[in-house]
Amino acid sequence: MGLSHDVNVLGRTLGQVLKEQEGEGFFELVERTRALVRDVRAGGDDTELRGLIERLDQRTAENLVRAFSWYFQLVNLAEEYERVRVLSGIQGVRPQSIAQALTELKAQGVTAEEAEALLQRLDLGLTFTAHPTEMRRRTVRNHLVEVARDIPHLDGEGLERVAAHIEAMWGTPELRRLKPTVLDEVKGGLNYVSSIAQALPELQRDLVRAFHQVYGRATQAPLPLSFSSWMGGDRDGNPFVTPQATRDTLALHRERARELLLGVLRQAYTDLSQEDLEEPEQAPYRAELRELHQAVREGEPVDLVPRLEALRARLYADGQHRSADLLLTPLLTVARVFGQHLVSLDIREHSAQTGAAVARLLAEAGVETDYLNLPEHAKQEVLTRELRSRRPLWPAGEALPAELENAIGPIREVQAATRVSGPRAFGRYIISMSESVSDVLEPLLLAREVGFRILPVPLFETLADLERAPQVVWELLSVPEYRAVLGDDVQEIMLGYSDSNKDAGFLAANWALHEAQRKISEVCRRAGVRWRFFHGRGTSIGRGGGPAARAILGQPAGTIDAGLRITEQGEALADKYSHPVLARRNLEQALYGLLLAAARPAENPPAEWTQALTRAAKASAAAYRALVHDPDFLPFFEAVTPIHEIARLNIASRPVRRPGAPSLGNLRAIPWVMSWTQNRANLPGWYGLAEGLREIGPDLARQMYQEWPFFRTVLDNAQMSLAKSDFLIFAEYLRLTSEQRLARQLRAAYDETVRLVQEAVGAELLTNEPRLRASIGLRNPYIDPIHRIQVELLRRARSTAGSTDGAGTDEYERPLLLSLQGIAAGVRNTG
Answer whether 413's CB lies under 8 Å from 332's CB.
no
Helices 669-678 and 497-504, packing angle to 10 deg: 70
Amino acid at 625: R
Answer whether 169's CB lies under 8 Å from 143's CB.
yes
Q: Write phi, then psi, for 532 (nearest 5 degrees).
A: -150, 130
| Terminal-residue alpha carbon distance, the chain | 33
The whole-angstrom distance between residue 126's C-alpha and the CA centroid of its chain comes to: 8
| Euclidean distance between CA atoms 200 and 225, whole angstroms | 9
Answer whether 758's CB lies under 8 Å from 702's CB.
no
131, 165, 379, 579: which one is catalytic?
Answer: 131
179 is catalytic: no
Q: Which of left, alpha, beta for 782 (phi over 0: left; psi -120 to 50: alpha)?
A: alpha
Q: Which of 306, 324, 325, 307 shows the shortest CA–CA distance to 315?
A: 324
Answer whether 815's CB lies under 8 Å from 58's CB.
yes
Residues sharing a CB contact under 8 Å with residue 654, sequence separation 6 or more, in sequence order:
130, 132, 234, 237, 238, 240, 668
Interior angle at CA 379, CA 377 and CA 384, nearest 5: 95
350, 379, 502, 644: which one is catalytic?
Answer: 502
| Euclidean distance between CA atoms 432 and 347, whole angstroms | 10
502 is catalytic: yes
Cα distances from 505 to residues 133, 419, 463, 557, 673, in angstroms, run 23, 44, 10, 24, 12
Answer whether 552's CB lies under 8 Å from 590's CB.
yes
- 274 DSSP 8-state letter: P
Amino acid at 51: G
Amino acid at 45: D
Interior angle at CA 500, CA 499 and CA 503, nearest 5: 85
| Euclidean distance between CA atoms 491 and 483, whole angstroms | 10
DSSP states of 25-66 as a string? HHHHHHHHHHHHHHHHHTT---HHHHHHHHT--HHHHHHHHH
Q: Which of 760, 818, 659, 640 shows the shortest CA–CA distance to 60?
A: 818
User: Which pairs with CB-CB distance under 8 Å and at least 24 residues apart come from 76-80?
Assistant: 76/825, 76/828, 77/10, 77/144, 77/147, 77/148, 77/151, 78/3, 78/6, 78/7, 78/10, 78/151, 79/3, 79/775, 80/148, 80/575, 80/578, 80/579, 80/582
Extended beta strands in 461-589, E state: 491-496, 531-536, 564-569
| Euclidean distance between CA atoms 259 and 268, whole angstroms | 14
Extended beta strands in 387-445, E state: 426-432
Residues sharing a CB contact under 8 Å with residue 256, sequence separation 6 or more, in sequence order:
190, 193, 342
| Euclidean distance between CA atoms 319 and 312, whole angstroms | 11
Positions marked active-site: 131, 502
